[in-house]
Amino acid sequence: MDGELTARHARVREALERHGLDAALVCGSEYTGFEGAVTYLSGFQIVHRYAYVLVPLEGEPAIVFPAEAHYVGEHGDSQIADQVFADRPGEWLGERLRGQRVGVYGLDYVMTVRDYAALAGAAELVPWDVEFDLARAVKSEAELVSVRESVEINLAGFHAFREAWAPGRNAAGVLSPAERLFVERGCGRLTMNMVLVGAEFAIARDDTVFGEFTIPSLEIAGPGGHWVEVSRALGTPSDEVKKMLEAYEEYYEVAQAALRAGATAHDVHRAVSAGFTQRGYHLGHVTGHSIGMTMIEHPKIGEGIDTELAASMVFSMHPHAIAADGVECLYMQDTWLVTEDGGVPLAGLPMQIFQ
């Protein structure tokens, strides 16, 4: 394994020791945004079915695949030498982990029912999503290079979307140049791009026709596998949305001071959301969240989240301002780097509605 992956395993083992666990079991599936934890610990990207990475407190790691789907991705990309193809992965893991206390990332959302049923009787399974996310929240220099590359690609895709956009065009046609660019620049399957219809997110289909105002939601991971989010609204805003833009401009300034090492996620949420709530807007989608090789990681930027931020954490920020009618809204995305002195918006895109 290369030095970067070895360092990631070391951080996970340090967390295991702190929590009195014998092993970490990381679950991933082909569902977009849920495969990244496996990539983070192995270099392997799932394209079909699911996989597990087992990192014991002591001993060598293993990556485990279901044997009925022998191809679930390019197995040669895995830097973990021990590749296991099991008829029932849960049974194999149960034998390997019998009597141990195991921290499981993805226990509630990702692990298959059949594997849980086989494994739960053999080992003590401890939900470990938050702890695993905190172990990987601070990005290494190599990861930040990957993050910046993803931001550059996402920004180019936004401009491709912007240049293709016009009132009367359909969403699929406008998004297609951006998607083409994303694939050409190495994103592969790792894109999740939508538009908002009213205050709701929707797939960009050919039966969605744009009016005078459009809100895209662009989320991609570049060749290094790190997800980012960068977008701006387009067109002519209503008077209500113009007021929301004022709150967005305030948030953009406030976040540059608030997203600093030592602040809590709760403090950041209160600071950046104040301009919206003071104007009477409801905040829909989460204000922000840590982002990495999994699209949404802990901590989120939200009420009551007392996790302390550290330098080199990366956050996606996208306050979702919704008017009292439940229809008019504004939603624009940025990827931010936490530093000792404050937040740095990595795309450098002006906070404005593009005409």
Q: Is 301 a member of any domain?
A: yes
Q: Is 303 a member of any domain?
A: yes
Is residue 100 within 8 A of residue 122, CB to CB? The reply is no
In sequence order, what are the beta bridge partners of 35? none
Distance CA 67, CA 314 (A): 36
Domain co-membership, 91 together with 118: yes
Q: Residue 285: what pLDDT?
A: 80
pLDDT at position 69 over 80: no
pLDDT at position 351 over 90: yes
What average pLDDT score do residues 285-301 get? 94
Domain co-membership, 101 together with 117: yes
Domain co-membership, 93 together with 194: no
Here the CATH number for the domain that contains residue 258 is: 3.90.230.10
What average pLDDT score do residues 144-160 get? 98
Distance of CA 226 to the CA centre of its chain: 8
In the structure, what pLDDT confidence band is assigned to residue 48 with cuts at 50, 70 and 90?
confident
Distance CA 203, CA 217 (A): 10
Domain co-membership, 198 together with 89: no
Q: Is 350 a member of any domain?
A: no
Domain co-membership, 238 together with 125: no
Q: Residue 107: what pLDDT?
A: 95
Give percent helix, percent strand, percent coil of the chain, each to the nearest 5.
Answer: 35, 25, 40
Q: What is the pTM of this model?
A: 0.94
Domain count for the chain, please give it: 2
Closest CA to 53 of 39, 34, 68: 39
Q: What are phi and psi of 275, to 5 degrees?
A: -65, -30
Domain co-membership, 311 together with 326: yes
pLDDT digits (tens, 9 = 90+) for 5-31: 999 999 999 999 999 999 999 999 987
What DSSP state is assigned to residue 170? B
Contacts by residues 134-137 (CB-CB < 8 Å, ≥ 24 positions apart): 134/15, 134/298, 134/299, 134/307, 135/11, 135/12, 135/14, 135/15, 136/8, 136/11, 136/12, 136/40, 136/292, 136/293, 136/297, 137/290, 137/292, 137/297, 137/298, 137/299, 137/310, 137/313
Domain co-membership, 133 together with 146: no
Residue type, 63: I
Q: Is 319 a member of any domain?
A: yes
Q: Is 353 a member of any domain?
A: no
pLDDT at position 88 over 90: yes
Domain co-membership, 250 together with 312: yes
Terminal alpha carbon distance of the chain: 48
What average pLDDT score do residues 38-65 get? 94
Q: Pick from 120, 137, 154: which residue ends a domain? A: 137
The mean predicted confidence, pLDDT, of the chain is 95
Domain co-membership, 283 together with 173: yes
What average pLDDT score do residues 327-348 get? 97
Distance CA 166, CA 214 (A): 9
Q: Is 351 a member of any domain?
A: no
Q: Is 321 a member of any domain?
A: yes
Q: Pick from 137, 157, 190: which residue ends a domain? A: 137
Q: Residue 145: what pLDDT?
A: 98
Burial class (CB in 10 A: 0-12, 13-18, 19+), 251: buried
In the structure, what pLDDT confidence band is assigned to residue 96 with cuts at 50, 70 and 90?
very high
Domain co-membership, 70 together with 164: no
pLDDT digits (tens, 9 = 90+) for 229-267: 999 999 999 999 999 999 999 999 999 999 999 999 999
Q: Residue 199: what pLDDT?
A: 81
In sequence order, what are the beta bridge partners of 54? 25, 62
Distance CA 268, CA 259 (A): 6
Is residue 270 within 8 A of residue 258, CB to CB? The reply is no
Note down the domain range covering 254.
Answer: 141-345
Q: Residue 33: what pLDDT?
A: 76
In the structure, what pLDDT confidence band is assigned to residue 338 with cuts at 50, 70 and 90?
very high
> How many residues make up the chain in this entry?
355
Is residue 55 within 8 A of residue 135, CB to CB? The reply is no
Domain co-membership, 133 together with 172: no
* Tokens matching residue 192: 């999740």
Domain co-membership, 73 together with 212: no
pLDDT at position 1 over 90: no
- Range 3-30 burial, b when 16+ CB lie within 10 A, else e: eebeebbebbbebbeeeebbbbbbbbbb
pLDDT digits (tens, 9 = 90+) for 325-336: 989 999 999 999
Distance CA 66, CA 88 (A): 7
Q: Is 167 a member of any domain?
A: yes
Percent of the chain with pLDDT over 70: 100
Q: Residue 254: what pLDDT?
A: 98
Q: Pick from 81, 108, 137: which residue ends a domain? A: 137
Question: How many other C-beta atoms can be found within 10 angstroms of the C-beta atom of residue 131?
Answer: 19
